[in-house]
Each structure stands twice: as C-alpha cells, then as structure tokens.
Amino acid sequence: MPTVTIRPATSSDEAALGRYGGGLMRRHHALDAPRFGFCVVIARAVQLDPADADSNNNVGVIYLNQGNLDKAVQYFRAALHAKPNHPQALNNLGVLYQLGHGIKRDYEQARQWLEKAAAAGSAHAMYNLGVLYEKGLGTKRDY
C-alpha cells in the first residue's frame, strides 16, 4: 500500500485554493455559495493568505450577494490593499458608491473608482462609467 505524506500548505497551494474557489464561484451563482461549499474554500484561501487580492474580492462578492454590505466593502478594500489596481474590486467598490449600498451614495467617488477600474481593464467598469456619463451622475452629462 502506498504511503501518503501530508505536508504544510505552501503559498502556491494557497493561491491555487483561491483560484479553485473563484472558478467554482464563476460556474455557479454566488448566492449558492453555501450549497456548493466554495464559500468555505475561498474563505480558507483568505485565511491562509490575507494578502490574496482575488480571494478577498471573491469573499466580498459572496457577502454582497448575501446582503452583508459592510463585510463586502471590507473585503473589497482588503483586495485593493493587496493589489491597488485589482479591476474587479475597483469596479465592485465603484458600483457600491454608485448605488449607495453599504456606503453612503457618492457619484463622484463612484466615478473615480470606476475610472480606475476601467483603466485597469474592467469592461464592466467601462459600462458602469458610461451609465454615469449618460445620466450626468458625478460628472457632466456626456452622450
């Protein structure tokens, strides 16, 4: 019978865990997180490596979809602390400012976050920024 050796997790294992949870989250809706168990996977990745921007952003999305907006904001900010130009976290925070969810509505702040996200390559942010410009929210109307 083969011998199984258990070793401590390495940083590459932690990164793989975060990517695995994020991949599961993309295949299923984040509201189904508890049912599919990837909420636990991603939360564990954050626990193992608090500086993992992707995992922090993914946990923020889970909290956002579960209605815990304060926690969502906390994890989006943690993702940005780890990686200041993380496009998804920048977009997510911009949308929260735009809608006034979990944060006081501030269209100027929303525009600033969305501009950073768009510059970082987020197509979602480009669309969301277009909505602000079309409606003249936080900026001069431009259409």
Mean pLDDT of 99-126: 94
pLDDT band at 42 (very low <50, low <70, confident <90, very high): low
pLDDT at 58: 87
> What percentage of the chain has pLDDT greater than the value 90?
43
Helices 87-99, 107-119: inter-axial angle, 10-degree rounding: 160
pLDDT band at 103 (very low <50, low <70, confident <90, very high): confident
pLDDT at 2: 45
pLDDT at 141: 76
Question: Global pTM?
Answer: 0.72
pLDDT at 143: 62
Q: How far apart are CA 137 and CA 114, in angstroms?
A: 12
CB 102 within 8 A of CB 96: yes
More confident residue, 33 or 113: 113
Asked if residue 89 has pLDDT above 50, the reply is yes
Asked if residue 27 has pLDDT above 60, the reply is no
pLDDT at 142: 64
pLDDT band at 43 (very low <50, low <70, confident <90, very high): low
Report CA dihedral (26, 117, 71, 24) to the nearest 10 degrees. Answer: 10
More confident residue, 109 or 141: 109
Asked if residue 90 has pLDDT above 80, the reply is yes
